[in-house]
Structures are given as structure tokens and as C-alpha cells.
Structure 1
């Protein structure tokens, strides 16, 4: 099965990244401003983009080290059965975020689109922490002319 993988260094301790991956307030600073449901393992986070969007169940949390979600909704269909993980490690003055969106059934143009958008949002996470201003949807960088 193909996977999307990205790695980014953020100038902060792992706890700050973990906070922005595990709370509604944190997630809304970098992915979409319409986020609800974040919490402990078993919580279902609803991410909304103009009223629609994916839901993810929190399946694993290791404080300041790992966040794992399993796709729990029907939107988008190609994400059915996929998982998202953020592995955090400290090196020098930065925290490395190893991002993985795994379990795709096949490579596709949509997968390529999602990979680029994940990169956009990971840079938004970096900016939210390092500058205090991320670019969550609807203020994200648009990669095509059909996006709102």
C-alpha cells in the first residue's frame, strides 16, 4: 500500500507540537479553523472544510512523542481505512515531525493532491509555532484554482 510521508523541523520543544496536534484550539491554528472533538484516545475529531470533511478517531497518544489517528468517516472516500501519524523527536534546538498518511489502497492523482496539501498544512503547523500565525483553512495556500 502506498503512503504519504513528510518530515519537517520545528524550532520548539516537542510538547508545543504535541499540543497543536491534540487540542481543538491547537489543530484550528494550522489545519482548519472548524475543528471539534479532539481529546483522549477514542475521541473522534471532526475537521470541517466548508461544512464537509474528514473525521479521525484518536487511536494512540504518547505524550510529546506520537499522535495517531484512524480515518473514521466517509469523506473523502479514498481515505477510508487510512491512518495519520505524527512522530515527534527532539534533536538540537528543533523537534522533527515525521508525518505519515498510510494505508492508501492505490496511488492516484488525488493522493498526489493530498500529499501536497499535507505539506502545505505541515508548513502551516511550523508557522503557527515559530511565528504565532499559521495558515489554516480557509486561509491556507491554495494549490489549484478550484479550491475555495
Structure 2
């Protein structure tokens, strides 16, 4: 299995980051403006990009420390069986977010695309928390011309 990993330092409390990862309003500020279903363990979050997109089941929540989701839909197909986790760790005056999108079956061009897009969206999370304005879809940085 192949994993995507990123680590980013954000000048915000773990509480604020946790809220941005576990509520519809928080997620809309940095990933996509069409989200519903965030909540407790067992909830299914629907992330939409122009009408389509992935669903994730919330599998683990440790307040201000850990957020885990498991892909729960059938699109995109290459995400089936994958899991996403956010681990929060405070070091001095910042909180590091360790992001992992795990259990990819193979390295593909789509995985490389997703790897770059995750970096774009994690920088959007950083901006949302540090300067008050992220760049969620459809206002995110485009990485290709298709």
C-alpha cells in the first residue's frame, strides 16, 4: 500500500484546528464550499466538487489530537479503501498537522495529482486559521489546465 504524507505548522491552537477538521463550517473554510454531515464518530461527511465527490465516514475523534476518516463512497474509485488522518501536535508557538491519506493500492498519476492537491488544501487550512481566509474549492489553486 502507498500513502500520502504531509506535515504543516499552523500558528493556531489545536482546538481551532480540530474545529476546522470536524465541523461543516470549519471544513468549508479550507477544502470545498459544499460539505455536509460532519459530526461524531459514525457520521458520513459528503464532500462535493461541482456536484460529485467523495464521502468519508468519521472513524476516530480524539479532541484536539486526532481526526480519522475512512472512504465510504464509490468515487473516486481509486480512493476506495483509503483512510485519512490528521494528527495534531503542539510544539512551542504552533500546532503541527500530520496529514496522511493511506492505503492507496498503487502509485498513479491521479495519486500524484491528489498529493499536490492535498498540499494546496493544507495550505488553505493554514491560511484559514492564520489570516482568516482559506481558498477552498472552487477558489483553490489549480494545478493543471484540464
Q: TM-score, normalised by structure 1?
A: 0.98
Does residue 117 of the first structure (1) align with residue 117 of the second (2)?
yes
Q: TM-score, normalised by structure 2?
A: 1.00
Deviations 1:13-51 (A, max 9, x none): 100100000000000000000000000000000000000
**1:102, distance to aligned residue in structure 2 (A):** 0.1
**RMSD over aligned Cα, in angstroms?**
0.3
Give the match's secondary structure for 1:96.
strand
Equivalent pairs, count = 146
Q: Which residue does the alignment assign to 2:126?
A: 126
> For residues 56-135 of structure 1, what are the structure 2 equivalents within 5 Å?
56-135=56-135
Runs of at least 5 residues in structure 1 that lack an aligned partner in the other structure: none
Q: Which residue does the alignment assign to 1:39?
A: 39
Runs of at least 5 residues in structure 2 that lack an aligned partner in the other structure: none
Find the aligned partners of 1:26 and 1:12 in 2 and give their Cα distance: 14
Find the aligned partners of 2:54 and 2:19 in 1 and give their Cα distance: 20
**1:77, distance to aligned residue in structure 2 (A):** 0.3
Find the aligned partners of 2:143 and 2:61 in 1 and give their Cα distance: 31
